[in-house]
Amino acid sequence: MAFDLASTLFWLKKFVSIVVLPPLAPVLLIALGLLVALRWRRAGFGLAWLGVVAALMFMTPASVHWMITGLETDPPITAEELREARAIVILGAGTRRYAPEYGGETPNRLALERIRYGARLARASGLPVLVSGGSLTGGKPEAELMRAVLQDEFGIKVRWTEAASLDTHQNARFSAEQLKAAGIRRIVLVTHAIHMPRARAEFEDAGLEVFPAPTAWLSAPGGSDEVLAELPGPTTAYAGWYAAHEWLGLLAKRLGR
Residue 4 has pLDDT above 50, yes or no: yes
Mean pLDDT of the 44-54 span:
95
pLDDT, tens only, 141-196: 999 999 999 999 999 999 999 999 999 999 999 999 999 999 999 999 999 999 99
Q: What is the pLDDT of residue 1?
A: 45
Q: Which residues of 64-82 are buried (b: 16+ CB within 10 A; e: fewer)?
A: bbebbeebbebeebeeeeb
pLDDT digits (tens, 9 = 90+) for 214-242: 999 998 765 554 444 667 888 899 999 99
Q: Output the pLDDT for position 120.
A: 98
Query: What integer pLDDT is reported at residue 178 of this predicted model?
Result: 98
> Measured between alpha carbons, how far is 4 from 113 in angstroms, rounded to an integer?
33
pLDDT of residue 139 exceeding 50: yes
DSSP 77-98: PPHHHHHH-SEEEEE---EEEE
Hey, how many other C-beta atoms are within 10 angstroms of the C-beta on 240?
27
Q: 10 versus 81: which is more confidently predicted? A: 81
Mean pLDDT of 59-75: 94
Average pLDDT for 101-120: 96
Percent over 90 (pLDDT), the chain? 81
Residue 40 confidence (pLDDT): 94
Q: Could you tell me which of 158, 191, 156 has the C-alpha nearest to residue 172?
A: 191
Residue 62 has pLDDT above 50, yes or no: yes
Going by C-alpha positions, the residue among 186, 188, 216 that lies closest to residue 129 is 188
pLDDT for 77 = 98
| CA–CA separation, 64 and 179 (whole Å) | 36
Q: How confident is the model at residue 2 (pLDDT cuts 50, 70, 90)?
A: low
Confirm if 192 and 93 have CB atoms less than 8 A apart. Answer: yes
Mean pLDDT of the chain: 92
Rg of the chain in Å (alpha carbons): 20
